[in-house]
Structure 1
Amino acid sequence: MITEPVFSQTGSIINNSGTNNELIFGMSTALTGPAAELGKNMRLGIQIRLERENVNGGIKGRKIRLIAWDDGYEPERTIPNIRNLINQEEALAIIGNVGTPTAISTIPIVNEEKTLLFAPFTGAGVLRKNPPDRYVINYRASYAEETSAMVNALIEQGGLKPEEVAFFTQRDSYGDAGFTGGMNALKRHGLTSETEIVHSRYERNTLVVESALADILLAEPVPKAIIMVGAYAPSAKFIKLARKSGLDALFLNVSFVGSAPLAKELGTNVKGVIVTQVVPYPEDLSLPIVRDYHNDMDNYGGNKEVSFGSLEGYIAMEIMIKALHNIPDEPNRENIIDALENLGEFDIGLGQKLYYDRQDHQASHRVWPTSLRQGKFVPFDWQNMPSVLVP
């Protein structure tokens, strides 16, 4: 068994290969702070997939190395990380960064340096321009697609009126992205004015959610569903305080919240919590990609538990490796993008086809709903929405 990678004091993975003949990928992510579990899980998923590739000989004999640096989910720390990863570490591409505000600070740098930002852990629209930025390529569904799925289910299956839905969001670009997507979906279902919707907010990297909860509790009518666009720690605190206050609303979270840490924070007694996912259930062994993920977690995961987050990182690296094998010459910062765009329709064992070309830089548009049951998020069918809503 290959043990978990060793990290230096700066957060980069120490090179154990003893050779400079490597393909280096950079990552600036949250390894400390309230979003740390998200960054650690993404890093883990990427690492276990590249470990297997390296054991099998790498890319035309060249090993892959990930250098992961901590930015604490703060954009001002991301900026020097990205510049140093590109210019000093000579990363071929940046992969799997976590967060919308940190991604926004990354985009102008990768465009300037002509270096790919691949599969960031964010669904923000700013990374999904039409036509797309050449140097930004996504894997996952957008926050607009996640919140639209929630709104459609609440209204079409659950029978709610648009004004019975409220929002709890992080006060930054991440929260704004989710709120905008959800509001657009509500307007498609007949909402005429944003003033009919309660929108409560909290500050990033804090747990100060009491005022946001007060806004919800004082609303008329009291919301029956709350769409949440936050990190796991403040979101868990908000849900627990809301339940103690007698609020029986359904809480719906976008994927960025982090299912495993949210479930851990909430414990086994909390009900009425949904999280939309952008990867399949990590225990669904009917899917080839999930079976491979389990095998690689067993071999290279250092006894870590499977999770939606590490599966997303794993899928990102799987796609990257597929593209790398299609490059006939030496991989570089430009032909790695060409290789991804040239994949067209492709299959990695996800249960659905993925697609890239020069005009489409988002491989997947699917959303998988899950519901909290006895301290764990399990698959949920939108058709069962009436059963989880309080009349």
Structure 2
Amino acid sequence: MPRLFFFLCLLLILLPGTGRAGEIVLGMSTALSGPTAELGQAMRDGVELGLERVNQQGGINGQRLRLIALDDGYEPARTAPNMRRLIEEEKVLAIIGNVGTPTAIAALPLVREHRVLYFAPFTGAGVLRHEPPERYVINFRASYGQEIATMIRALVEDAGLAPEEIAFFTQRDGYGDAGFAGGLAALRRHGLTDERQVLHVRYPRNTLAVENALADILLAERTPRAIIMVGAYAPCAKFIRLARQAGLNSLMLNVSFVGGDFLARELGPEIEGVVVTQVVPHPRQRELPLVADFRRDIETYVQDMAPSFPALEGYIAMRLLAVALAEIDGEPSREGLVEALEALGEFDLGLGRKLFLGPKRHQASNQVWPTVLRAGGLEPLDETGIAALVPVAP
């Protein structure tokens, strides 16, 4: 009997995601250093806040949750070794909340090789949204294509801009390319016939080298009335400041990955009217049950944590994963977790709108919430309100 007990304990230790007895282990490779560190830190903190809530309520069928977060600095070359360590050595049950598109591209081969869930990454890239969906990739958030389609619909249909009056400022990597591709697709739906008419400028990832991109816009034959930005908060903030100093009054619109809270801080109260689309509600919307939980849990468990959009997204991701974990009978497995998520169908997480997951739909939410920079902070904005921010044509 002692020998049998020893082997049973050893089996529990070796099972993916079980870690120590009575523990479910999740993994994350994210930017905890470098120019995008605050995004990664906020996403990690949000996941850990949701995890703490679950643990304080007794865990998952008596098992506590634990997150192992490794730093990749938003560099793909560091992501693959992190993923291999998490999957092969730490034997995590799932990967949750990784930040970025180029890092996701580096992670996917290992996800496929080991058949481990890649859940709710902080990116809206199409590479994670195939049709039919990849079995081991399940998203929470709306795509960059949906965010940019919201912008372009407002700019073209409500503000009356021609597609050629909209330019793009993007990061030179898979993230920027995904955003620009989504933008072109939306512009084609609104009458664009020649892609060469769309001005597209770029800057290198993990740098602040935006001057050449701005110069290309300032020297363009047609000054854009709106610029859609697909970048990180520090370079986007620098671009906006320099553009305003140069007298460029184009409306600047950013996708959610910019980290609107951090962009607002970088720009300060002197710059207003910058649009940021979000894929979660405003963290001030306490009338939504899940946002109320988020704010209450911050006050209860961490106090000094900023209630940012990325932190709320991480919190939502963990709450959603916990719903699926609670549906599993017995010891959770990697395959069983995917099956539990696909079996959720339509459900209400407390966001004011129903979510849906199934075998043919691996993106729970399609919702986009626009916001606008006012007095150093972000305010909710109706989609139709974007048109009023477009400068009058010269």
Query: Shorter-chain TM-score: which interval?
Result: over 0.9
Q: Give the aligned partner of residue 366 of structure 2.
A: 365
Q: Do the aligned residues in 1 keep the contact of 2:28 with 2:98 (CA within 8 Å)? A: yes
Q: Give the aligned partner of residue 11 of structure 1.
A: none
Cα separation, 1, equivalents of 2:302 and 2:261: 16
Cα separation, 1, equivalents of 2:303 and 2:111: 32
Residue 259 of structure 1 pairs with residue 260 of structure 2: yes
Residue 243 of structure 1 pairs with residue 263 of structure 2: no
Partner letter of residue 255 of structure 1? S
Q: Give the aligned partner of residue 172 of structure 1.
A: 173
Q: Give the aligned partner of residue 216 of structure 1.
A: 217
- Give the drift of 1:302: 4.1
Cα separation, 1, equivalents of 2:209 and 2:107: 27
Q: Give the aligned partner of residue 43 of structure 2.
A: 42
The CA deviation string for residues 178-231 of structure 1, in whole angstroms up to 9 with x for no partner, is: 001011111111111111111000000000000000111111210000000000
Name the SS for the 2:52 alignment partner: helix
Q: Give the aligned partner of residue 28 of structure 1.
A: 29
Cα separation, 1, equivalents of 2:114 and 2:379: 42
Matches within 5 A, 1:11-26: 20-26=21-27
Cα separation, 1, equivalents of 2:140 and 2:378: 22
Q: Give the aligned partner of residue 292 of structure 1.
A: 293
Number of equivalenced pairs: 374
Stretch moving more, 376-385 or 338-347: 376-385
Cα separation, 2, equivalents of 1:153 and 1:234: 25
Residue 381 of structure 1 pairs with residue 382 of structure 2: yes
Q: Do the aligned residues in 2 keep the contact of 1:44 with 1:301 (CA within 8 Å)? A: no
Cα separation, 2, equivalents of 1:385 and 1:281: 17
Q: Give the aligned partner of residue 70 of structure 2.
A: 69
Cα separation, 2, equivalents of 1:223 and 1:381: 23
Q: Give the aligned partner of residue 331 of structure 2.
A: 330
Q: Do the aligned residues in 1 keep the contact of 2:154 with 2:387 (CA within 8 Å)? A: no
Matches within 5 A, 1:69-148: 69-148=70-149
Cα separation, 1, equivalents of 2:348 and 2:133: 22
The CA deviation string for residues 263-307 of structure 1, in whole angstroms up to 9 with x for no partner, is: 010000102210000000110011000000001111123411101
Name the SS for the 2:248 alignment partner: coil
Identity, in percent, stands at 60
RMSD: 1.0
Cα separation, 1, equivalents of 2:93 and 2:130: 23
Cα separation, 1, equivalents of 2:149 and 2:20: 48
TM-score (norm. length: structure 1) = 0.94
Gaps of 5+ in 2: 1-18
Name the SS for the 1:248 alignment partner: coil
TM-score (norm. length: structure 2) = 0.94
Q: Do the aligned residues in 2 keep the contact of 1:157 with 1:382 (CA within 8 Å)? A: no
Partner letter of residue 352 of structure 1? R
Q: Do the aligned residues in 2 keep the contact of 1:116 with 1:136 (CA within 8 Å)? A: yes
Cα separation, 1, equivalents of 2:165 and 2:178: 20
Q: Give the aligned partner of residue 5 of structure 1.
A: none
- Give the drift of 1:355: 0.4
- Give the drift of 1:389: 1.1
Partner letter of residue 97 of structure 1? N
